[in-house]
A and B are shown apart, each in its own frame.
Chain A
Amino acid sequence: MDASLLLELAVNGAFIGMMYALVSAGIVLIYKTSGIANLAQGALAMTGAYMAWIGGTLIGLPIWVAAPLAAAVMFGIGALIERFAMRRMIGQPLIMAIMLTMGMEIMLRGLMPGILGASVKKIDIGIPNAPIILGDILINRTLLIGGLISFAMIVASILFFNSRLGVVMRAVSDDQTASWSVGIRVERAIAIAWGLSAVMATTAGVLWGATQGIDWSLSLLLIKALAIAILGGLDSIPGVLIAGIIVGLVESLATGIIDPIIGGGSRDLVASAIILITLLIRPHGLLGREHIERV
């Protein structure tokens, strides 16, 4: 195996990783404000991609109109999920809320293909298939652009958390009662987090839909996203970026190196192995926040 092939796998893997990371950034966003791990993030990505397909193919809008439109609709859907489902879980044990998101994941996974047909939908975001040739490595153009868009959105969300609204959301995650006491509308902050998270999911869904087509299997992004969120530390957006690149790289290299030996299938092993190893060795992840205790 020569070095240029490894480099090619690594570069493409890093871009894939950033696209995974975009899905987990949504999980982190919700976790950071409300302390709930949203297990419906994969299905939200899938639903967002279907929405863009409805706009782009069914109605016939150009993709640069259909995709933002889908994102706007998904913001509303995310906020509605908080309003009518998650808000009822206040005061219930945390596990109930997490199970509810799991239920939504399963329901959406069946509902969207059920309504729109189970066949794989094609979505064209106008990126040519021809790879970019850089020296002697080939870079997949869709992955490159998808990775860069994801990177930009993740950086934007890091900046967002330093704005006033972002500070308020971090305050909510620290202490909800204290937030109420200084006039923060806690429910609204959490609804906005769900909305923004759904927008990120939609972007990721459209980018992945463009590379592999849209069907229920898009929601399997959840597994990779969870692996990245856990490795990065559930409440750290920079952690997600780093962990995303790590997972993407390892996955890609594993496919390139191990697959020819064992005959394929190592790609899906990587994410689950990373979840297990992280939880056993470093449960709070790479950049997860420390628990402050004054003595």
Chain B
Amino acid sequence: MSLLTLNNIEVVYDSVFLAVKGISIEVPEGGLVALLGANGAGKSSVLKAISGLLRSERGAVSRGQATFRHENLLALDPPERVRRGLVHVLEGRRVFEHLSPAENLLAATTMHRDRTRVTRRLDEMLTLFPRLAERANAKAGYLSGGEQQMLAIARALMTEPKLILLDEPSLGLAPFLVDEIFDVIRRINAEQGVAVLLVEQNAVAALDLVQSAYLIEQGRVVMSGSAEALRANPDIQEAYLAGHNQVDYHAVKHYRRRKRWLA
């Protein structure tokens, strides 16, 4: 059963610039789905259309339908969408810099009335992310990039989502941190049953993680399918996975040189 369905969504900025040109995607309950594509392809705009955060950038959904658990999403304002169970982790982490990590987590609990539940959830997050517990009283702005990304994910999980939208969680992180973040994503998907819609430029890592993916170019879905199918596709290998059957330029040069000598 599908949790989130986008049908022919169009996103327009400033009433003139068409960034997303009719995209249809589907995220199943408890699924792990990636949106792949180059810079400026429209991946982040799709996420913002889902979470409703286009408005603060003068963008709008100009056409199409979005349903989340059989409910029309587009009629709801962003805080209301969070209450329905979808949460957006913004690109570039966007933690509350002047708040401590614990306060960052607390700020994301306005929808929960039950204080004991909030405290329990907070403890859960600090066990899931032990590095945050170590620095619980520092200002979040002084955490390292990886720690901030973990904080942003933990903050989103405080809202107890059914679906988490992750916008480039590996951005600007060292490779071993990327692995750590992706491990965390795998765990929250497996252990808490949270569906994940992941936007990534790092296609290698993303295709290892997800079940299915959509490839977006210039605001359109140009390819979609299971992760294995996409990984096996020669075009994708060439453009996004840095090719396994690459031409060996060293050999090429050697061959030419020899030929010139003989001729």
Q: Which residues of A contact B (CB under 8 A)?
A: 91, 164, 167-168, 170-171, 174-186, 289, 292, 294
CA distance A183 to B155 in the complex (A): 11
Cβ of B178 < 8 Å from any Cβ of A? no
Cross-chain contact of A181 among B90, B103, B109, B145 (Cβ < 8 A):
B90
Q: Mark B205-232, 1 if CB is under 8 A from A, else 0.
A: 0000000000000000000000000000
* Minimal Cβ-Cβ distance residue in B for A32: B98
Question: What are 29 A-B pairs at a CB distance below 8 A?
Answer: A164-B106, A164-B107, A167-B99, A168-B107, A170-B96, A170-B103, A170-B107, A177-B53, A178-B90, A178-B94, A178-B95, A181-B53, A181-B78, A181-B82, A181-B87, A181-B94, A182-B107, A182-B159, A183-B79, A183-B83, A183-B108, A184-B79, A184-B108, A185-B79, A292-B97, A292-B139, A292-B141, A294-B141, A294-B142
> What is the number of contacts between chain A and chain B, taking CB atoms within 8 Å?
87
CA distance A180 to B108 in the complex (A): 10
Those of B39-85 within 8 Å (CB) of chain A: 51-53, 56, 58, 78-79, 82-83
Shortest Cβ distance from B7 into chain A, in angstroms?
23
Shortest Cβ distance from A235 into chain B, in angstroms?
9
A171 x B82 contact (CB < 8 A): no
Contacts of B103 in A (CB 8 A): 167, 170-171
Contacts of B58 in A (CB 8 A): 91
**A180 in contact with B98 given A167-B103, A170-B103, A294-B141 (CB within 8 Å):** no
Q: A164-B109, A181-B88 are in contact. List 5 more A-B contacts (CB 8 A).
A: A164-B106, A170-B107, A182-B107, A292-B97, A294-B145
Cβ of B110 < 8 Å from any Cβ of A? yes
Cβ of B104 < 8 Å from any Cβ of A? yes
Shortest Cβ distance from B257 into chain A, in angstroms?
47
CA distance A294 to B149 in the complex (A): 14
B98 x A174 contact (CB < 8 A): yes
Contacts of A176 in B (CB 8 A): 56
| Most chain A CB inside 10 Å of its own CB: which residue of B52, B88, B107 | B107
* Minimal Cβ-Cβ distance residue in B for A178: B94
* Minimal Cβ-Cβ distance residue in A for B56: A177
Contacts of B56 in A (CB 8 A): 176-177, 180
CA distance A246 to B159 in the complex (A): 44
A167 x B82 contact (CB < 8 A): no
B residues contacting the other copy or chain, number (CB 8 A): 35
Contacts of B82 in A (CB 8 A): 181-183
Contacts of A170 in B (CB 8 A): 96, 98-99, 103, 107
Contacts of A289 in B (CB 8 A): 98
Cβ of B242 < 8 Å from any Cβ of A? no
Shortest Cβ distance from B75 into chain A, in angstroms?
16
A167 x B106 contact (CB < 8 A): yes
Shortest Cβ distance from A182 into chain B, in angstroms?
4
Those of B126-178 within 8 Å (CB) of chain A: 139, 141-142, 145, 155-156, 158-159
Contacts of B104 in A (CB 8 A): 171
CA distance A171 to B99 in the complex (A): 7
CA distance A168 to B78 in the complex (A): 16
CA distance A183 to B107 in the complex (A): 9
Contacts of A181 in B (CB 8 A): 51, 53, 78, 82, 87-90, 94, 156
CA distance A182 to B186 in the complex (A): 21
Cβ of B190 < 8 Å from any Cβ of A? no
Shortest Cβ distance from A121 into chain B, in angstroms?
42
B87 x A183 contact (CB < 8 A): yes
A182 x B158 contact (CB < 8 A): yes
* Minimal Cβ-Cβ distance residue in B for A169: B107
Contacts of A294 in B (CB 8 A): 141-142, 145
Shortest Cβ distance from A175 into chain B, in angstroms?
6
CA distance A174 to B95 in the complex (A): 9
B88 x A174 contact (CB < 8 A): no
Contacts of B89 in A (CB 8 A): 181
CA distance A165 to B258 in the complex (A): 76
CA distance A178 to B79 in the complex (A): 11
Cβ of B204 < 8 Å from any Cβ of A? no
CA distance A200 to B56 in the complex (A): 31
Shortest Cβ distance from B124 into chain A, in angstroms?
16
CA distance A180 to B88 in the complex (A): 9
Cβ of B239 < 8 Å from any Cβ of A? no
A180 x B53 contact (CB < 8 A): yes
CA distance A78 to B53 in the complex (A): 27
B94 x A177 contact (CB < 8 A): yes
**A175 in contact with B159 given A164-B106, A181-B51, A292-B142 (CB within 8 Å):** no
* Minimal Cβ-Cβ distance residue in A for B92: A178
Contacts of B156 in A (CB 8 A): 181-182
Shortest Cβ distance from A288 into chain B, in angstroms?
11
